[in-house]
Chains A and B, each alone.
Chain A
Amino acid sequence: MSKYLLNKFLFTVDRDPELVERYRADPRGTVEWWESAYANRILGCHAGESSTWLQFDEVEREALGSHDYPRLFELGAHPFLTLTLFIAMFERDHPPLGFQREYARRVGHVRLPYPDIAT
């Protein structure tokens, strides 16, 4: 379980317009590239000082690779990060607020207490 890395993926993709489009068009390829090239970057640190140990588990990799945001919610990914990135990718395909309401419907099976988002 690597909630921190799930959030790091959402965080780094959401802030980069090119990565947002790349993830929308090719989720599995983007996740594979990101995990090999980006996951161990210490943000704000010289690339030569990267970490060595961060990786997704299979469940996380599959959830990201299939754009499965209900699963990300269940895994405890930060809901704000998940929402903003998926809005960026898919709101354009829906009428106003349509995606946000569809999102709510698709996580509607989750009851309080919600999954813990602490990393």
Chain B
Amino acid sequence: MAEVVAVIASTHHPFYYRASTATGEDRPPFADEWVRKVLAFRETLTRARPDVLVMVGSDHFHQLWLDNMPQFLVGKAPFYDANFYNEEREFGLPRLVCRGQEELSAYILREGLDAGFDLAFSNELRIDHSITCPIITLRPQNDLPIVPVYTNIFAPPLPQPKRFVQLGRTIRELVESWPADQRVAIIGTGHLSLELGGPRQFGPHGPDPEFDRKAVEWISSGDIEGCLAEVTLDSLHLPGNATHGFMDFMLMMGVAGDGRKADYVDTYDLFHTMEAYFTWYPDGGGRS
């Protein structure tokens, strides 16, 4: 059986690549500290020695669109081209090609359908920065095959928060039941409070520091019940109009498990958003 060797959740700030590679006057004052934090975060994956990455993220209206919008979609392809023209344009993100793990994709699709999730699939999925940012931060050598899992946090109507938690639990069960001798890391990215295209965007810090504080506490302590008691589709508008991406963090809490404290927690308060990094080691094997 496969082994889940690390569960990782983080934000996916698309400016990290540009900030971390900038030099001279172009290098922002927060870059060095940001790089230091990301290098420490990267080590939490490296030490787990994964063979495969299951990667949860959300398409940002790049390939998925309102004429045919899935709620949850699993990529099943041998390769995934990555990043789009408008991400190069805005964020300076590089084009990438990632290798796929089709056997695990097929297994998650078959077993996921039988477990009650009507998963969509794609044999030609181009992935965007929700999945490439953690490759850039956590595995820049891009040498491991991936299984991308896309969620809809973007185009209402959205699944309820509890559905994200349930899918996370199911992904964990499916990976652990996959009959392959592989070490699997499950990585997901989401947001804390975030506003895009609205009056609270790009302020001196995230739009709702109090939500961020509570969110980090829910995630780091595995407090799924407390989180579900406060978070609804309606309430997520209050901390910022793009905060529904927090539901991908809730999915990762489902992967990590109820009451499971994160083994590694770090945050970084950038000018308009709180970066957050979490790692769990299910069997303790990745701890130094």
Contact = CB atoms under 8 A, between A and B. Distances in A.
Interface of A: 4, 7-8, 11, 14-15, 17, 42-44, 73, 78-84, 87-88, 97, 100-101, 103-105, 107-110, 112-114, 116-119
Interface of B: 60-62, 65-68, 84-86, 89-90, 154-157, 196-203, 237-238, 241-242
- The A interface is mostly helix, strand or loop, or mixed, namely helix
A80 B199 contact: no
26 contacts: A8-B66, A14-B86, A17-B89, A73-B198, A78-B197, A79-B196, A79-B198, A80-B197, A80-B242, A81-B61, A81-B197, A83-B196, A83-B197, A88-B86, A88-B89, A97-B202, A100-B202, A104-B198, A107-B198, A107-B199, A110-B198, A113-B237, A114-B241, A118-B156, A119-B66, A119-B156
A39 B128 CA distance: 25
Given A100-B202, A103-B197, A4 B86 contact: no
A46 B115 CA distance: 36
Given A14-B86, A44-B67, A110-B198, 11 more contacts: A17-B85, A17-B89, A80-B60, A88-B86, A88-B90, A103-B201, A105-B199, A109-B199, A114-B198, A116-B156, A118-B157
A84 B66 contact: no
Contact of B155 (A101, A113, A119): A119
Contacts of A101: 202
Contacts of A97: 202
B280 to A, nearest CB: 30
A8 to B, nearest CB: 7
Nearest to B271: A97
Contact of B201 (A44, A78, A100): A100
Contact of A7 (B66, B85, B157): B66
A107 B200 CA distance: 9
A88 B85 CA distance: 11
Contacts of B154: 78, 80
A119 B242 CA distance: 16
Most-contacted residue by chain B among A73, A80, A103, A117 (CB, 10 A): A80
Contacts of A105: 199
Contacts of A112: 237-238
Contact of A82 (B90, B155, B197): B197
A4 B237 contact: no
A40 to B, nearest CB: 12
A113 B233 CA distance: 13
Nearest to B158: A118
The 10 closest A-B pairs by CB, nearest first: A79-B197, A83-B197, A118-B156, A100-B202, A108-B199, A107-B199, A104-B201, A82-B197, A104-B199, A80-B196
